[in-house]
């Protein structure tokens, strides 16, 4: 693992699609950006923030997400998400994440990820099915 720098940040944008609405994914019946889709976007932003620090065969897995979803976003609106590294404790990396649409802050989160060797991690998971 390369040295992970605290306060490193990554920002990405997306346009909310019909497939990401609560009414489509089953997390509600309203036609707004679904909470699980917002959380997945937050997690993906954290993953991308760490990409420059990963070495061959390394990846991270999410171990904790504490989030709020504070404002509704309609289909077709742009959402911007920024993940900032706030702490590194050995193989655990912590983030502060903020998601905004074109009008409001729509969500905030704290998120922890753990560095793993992809091949070993997947092999251990597959062992569960064999027992």
Assigned domain for 1 exists? no
pTM: 0.95
Among residues 35, 59, 86, 110, which one is catalytic?
35
Q: Kindly state whether residue 100 falls inside one of the protein's structural domains.
A: yes
Tokens of 52: 């420059």
CA gap 72, 109 in Å, rounded: 16
90 in a labelled binding site? no
Return the pLDDT at 103.
Answer: 98
Mean pLDDT (10-residue bins), the chain, 131 residues? 94 98 97 98 98 97 98 98 98 98 98 97 92 68
**Total count of domains within the chain:** 1
User: Which of these is catalytic: 69, 73, 84, 111?
Assistant: 69
Structural domain boundaries, residue 13: 6-128
Is 99 within 8 Å of 42 (Cβ atoms)? yes
Give the domain CATH number at 105.
3.10.129.10
Report yes or no on 62 lying in a domain.
yes
Concerning whether 24 is annotated as a catalytic residue, the answer is no
pLDDT at 17: 98
Q: Is 102 left (phi over 0), alpha (psi -120 to 50) or beta?
A: alpha
User: Does residue 35 have an active-site annotation?
Assistant: yes
Give me the pLDDT at residue 129, please.
85
pLDDT score recorded for residue 29? 97
């Amino acid at each position: 693992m390369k040295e992970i720098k605290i306060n490193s940040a990554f920002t990405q944008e997306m346009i909310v699609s019909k497939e990401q609405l609560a009414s489509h994914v089953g997390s509600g019946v309203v036609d707004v950006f679904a909470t699980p889709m917002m959380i997945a976007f937050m997690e993906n932003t954290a993953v991308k923030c760490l990409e420059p620090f990963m070495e061959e065969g390394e990846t991270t897995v999410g171990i904790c997400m504490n989030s709020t979803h504070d404002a509704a976003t309609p289909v077709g609106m742009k959402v911007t998400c920024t993940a900032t590294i706030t702490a590194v404790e050995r193989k655990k990396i912590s983030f502060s994440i903020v998601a905004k649409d074109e009008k409001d802050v729509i969500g905030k989160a704290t998120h922890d990820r753990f560095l793993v060797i992809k091949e070993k991690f997947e092999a251990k998971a597959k062992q569960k099915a064999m027992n």
